Amino acid sequence: MRWSNYYLMTAREAPRDAEVVSHQLMARAGLVRRLAAGIYTMQPAGWRTMRKLMAIVRREMERAGAVELSMPAIQPAELWEESGRWFKYGAELLRMEDRHGRRFCFGPTHEEVITDLVRRDVKSYRQMPLNLFQIQTKFRDEIRPRFGLMRGREFIMKDAYSFDADEEGLDRSYQAMYDAYSRIFEACGLEYSVVEADQGAIGGSSSHEFMVLADTGESAIASCAACGYGANVERAEVGTLAQPAEGGGNAGGDGPRRVSTPGATTVAEVAGMLEVDRTLVVKTLIYETDDGLAAVAIRGDREVNEVKLLNVLGGLGLRLASAEQVAEATGGPLGFSGPVGLSPEVRLVVDESARALADFVCGANAGDEHLVSVRWDRDVAGARPLEWVDVMTAEAADPCPRCSAGQLRISRGIEVGHIFKLGTAYSESMNCTFTDEQGRLRPAEMGCYGLGIGRTAAAAIEQGHDDDGIVWPVPLAPFTVVLSSLDPGDEAVRSAADGLYEELEAALAPGGFDVLYDDRRERPGVKFKDGDLVGFPVRVVVGARSLRAGGAEVSNRQDGEREVVPLDGVPQAVLSRL
Partner RNA sequence: CGGGGCGUAGCUCAGCCUGGUAGAGCGCACGGUUCGGGACCGUGAGGCCGGAGGUUCAAAUCCUCUCGCCCCGACCA
DSSP annotation string for 15-72 = -TT--SHHHHHHHHTTSEEEEETTEEEE-HHHHHHHHHHHHHHHHHHHHTT-EE----
Smallest separation (angstroms) from RNA to the CB of 238: 15
Sheet with 481-485, edge to edge strand ranges:
515-518, 481-485, 538-542, 552-556, 562-565
CA–CA separation, 255 and 236 (whole Å): 36
- 146-165 residues in contact with RNA (CB under 7 A) are 146-147
Q: Smaller CB distance to RNA: residue 289 or 463?
A: 289
Judged by CB under 7 A, does residue 307 bind RNA? no
Taking CB under 7 A as the criterion, the residue among 185, 426, 528, 536 binding RNA is 528
Judged by CB under 7 A, does residue 266 bind RNA? yes
- 392-421 residues in contact with RNA (CB under 7 A) are 393
Judged by CB under 7 A, does residue 143 bind RNA? yes
Smallest separation (angstroms) from RNA to the CB of 490: 9
Nearest to 516 by CA among 493, 494, 483: 483
Write each residue from 451 to 490 as x if it is in contact with RNA (CB under 7 A), else as -, in one continuous string. -----------------x-----------------xx-x-
Q: Smaller CB distance to RNA: residue 392 or 425?
A: 392
Are 441 and 449 in contact by the 8 Å Cβ rule? The answer is no
Nearest to 74 by CA among 137, 121, 119, 142: 137
Which is it for strands 360-363 and 281-289: parallel, antiparallel or unpaired? parallel
Are 83 and 111 in contact by the 8 Å Cβ rule? The answer is yes
Residues in the chain: 578
Q: Smaller CB distance to RNA: residue 197 or 533?
A: 533
Smallest separation (angstroms) from RNA to the CB of 165: 42
Judged by CB under 7 A, does residue 339 bind RNA? no
CA–CA separation, 508 and 357 (whole Å): 68
Judged by CB under 7 A, does residue 99 bind RNA? no
Judged by CB under 7 A, does residue 545 bind RNA? yes
Q: Smaller CB distance to RNA: residue 209 or 306?
A: 306
CA–CA separation, 531 and 525 (whole Å): 10
Our separate counts of H helices and E strands in the chain read 15, 31
Smallest separation (angstroms) from RNA to the CB of 435: 47
Judged by CB under 7 A, does residue 145 bind RNA? yes
Judged by CB under 7 A, does residue 123 bind RNA? no
Smallest separation (angstroms) from RNA to the CB of 328: 11
Q: Interior CA angle at 520 toward 465 and 470, to 5°?
A: 5
Nearest to 140 by CA among 430, 452, 447: 452
Are 172 and 129 in contact by the 8 Å Cβ rule? The answer is yes
Stretch that binds RNA, among 11-19, 115-123, 454-462, 473-481 (CB under 7 A): 11-19
Judged by CB under 7 A, does residue 91 bind RNA? no
Smallest separation (angstroms) from RNA to the CB of 54: 25
Smallest separation (angstroms) from RNA to the CB of 111: 25
Smallest separation (angstroms) from RNA to the CB of 308: 11
Cis ω on the peptide bond leading into residue 129 (within 30° of 0)? yes
Stretch that binds RNA, among 78-86, 189-197, 475-483, 529-537 (CB under 7 A): 529-537
Give the Å distances, CA to CA, from 9 to 6, 26, 235, 540. 9, 11, 43, 20
Judged by CB under 7 A, does residue 518 bind RNA? no
Smallest separation (angstroms) from RNA to the CB of 6: 14
Taking CB under 7 A as the criterion, the residue among 104, 125, 229, 336 binding RNA is 336
Judged by CB under 7 A, does residue 14 bind RNA? yes
Nearest to 416 by CA among 382, 386, 449: 449
Count of residues in contact with RNA, rule CB under 7 A: 66
Judged by CB under 7 A, does residue 38 bind RNA? yes
Taking CB under 7 A as the criterion, the residue among 15, 228, 249, 512 binding RNA is 15
Smallest separation (angstroms) from RNA to the CB of 267: 5
Helical (H) or strand (E) element with 503: helix 491-508
Judged by CB under 7 A, does residue 283 bind RNA? yes
Helix orientation angle between 44-63 and 453-463, rounded to the nearest 10 degrees: 110
Taking CB under 7 A as the criterion, the residue among 541, 554, 565, 574 binding RNA is 541
- 308-327 residues in contact with RNA (CB under 7 A) are 319-321, 323, 326
Give 376's Cβ-side CA count (13 Å radius): 21
DSSP annotation string for 92-114 = GSEEEE-TT--EEEE-S--HHHH
Smallest separation (angstroms) from RNA to the CB of 356: 20
Judged by CB under 7 A, does residue 234 bind RNA? no
DSSP strands (E only) in 441-572: 441-443, 445-452, 465-466, 469-470, 481-485, 515-518, 538-542, 552-556, 562-565
Smallest separation (angstroms) from RNA to the CB of 541: 5
Judged by CB under 7 A, does residue 37 bind RNA? yes
CA–CA separation, 458 and 33 (whole Å): 14
| Three-state secondary-structure class, residue 546 | helix
- 341-400 residues in contact with RNA (CB under 7 A) are 363, 393
CA–CA separation, 455 and 212 (whole Å): 10
Q: Smaller CB distance to RNA: residue 306 or 445?
A: 306
Judged by CB under 7 A, does residue 30 bind RNA? no
Q: Which residues are at the interface with RNA (CB under 7 A)?
A: 10-17, 19, 28, 34, 36-38, 143-147, 265-267, 270, 283-287, 303-304, 306, 319-321, 323, 326, 334-337, 363, 393, 468, 486-487, 489, 523-526, 528-530, 532-533, 541-546, 549, 553, 555, 560, 562
